[in-house]
Amino acid sequence: MTMTQEQAERALVEFLVSSAAGDVTIDRDMDLIESRVLSSMQFMNFILLIEELTENPIAMEEMNVDDFRTLRTIRQRFLSLLPDAHGGNVGAEQGDTHV
């Protein structure tokens, strides 16, 4: 069953929170790499989760670390393939709230 962008984003946040060392609050512009919320060791599992949620393989050779730096970028880059909560693929900016 195809997810909405919001559902997929929630699943990514749950993954990041559950794999973080301590309590963490994540907003869309938080630098996931710099803050170490997304560690190099969890990176592969995070990529696989995005692939599973979007049902699309990620072409790693075309990526760089900045593509995964914030939830906003991830949403624009990968989750915009999914329908939003209103049923369209209108990009990442709708429903832009803290997660």
Partner 1 sequence: MVVTDSFADPKVQRILDKVSNKSIEDHYNPYTLFEWPETLPEDRLWMPLELMTIHHMPAEKTLTEAELIALSKWESINFYSLNIHGIRELLVEVCRRIHTNAFAMPSEFFHHFIEEENSHLWIFAQFCLRYGGKIYPERRMPATAREPAVEQFMIFAKILIFEEIVDYYNVRIAQDESLHPFVREINRLHHHDESRHIACSRELVEALFGHVRQSVDASELPSIEEYLRQYIVACVESLYNPSAYLDAKLPVNAYQLRREALRDENRKRADQAMLKRTMGFFHSRGIFSSEVAAI
Residues that bind partner 1 (CB under 8 A): 33, 38-41, 43-45, 47-49, 51-52, 57-61, 65, 68
- The nearest distance, CB 35 to partner 1, in angstroms, is 12
Q: How far apart are CA 34 and CA 68, in angstroms?
A: 11
- The nearest distance, CB 70 to partner 1, in angstroms, is 15
- The nearest distance, CB 89 to partner 1, in angstroms, is 23
Q: Which C-beta is closer to partner 1: that of 22 or that of 87?
A: 22
- The nearest distance, CB 62 to partner 1, in angstroms, is 10
Q: Which C-beta is closer to partner 1: that of 2 or that of 94?
A: 2
Q: Which of 48, 26, 47 is nearest to 36 (CA)?
A: 26
Q: Which C-beta is closer to partner 1: that of 15 or that of 95?
A: 15
DSSP 29-91: TS-TTTTTSS-TTTHHHHHHHHHHHHT----GGG--GGGGSSHHHHHHHTGGGS--TTSS---
Q: What are phi and psi of 33, to 5 degrees?
A: -80, -55
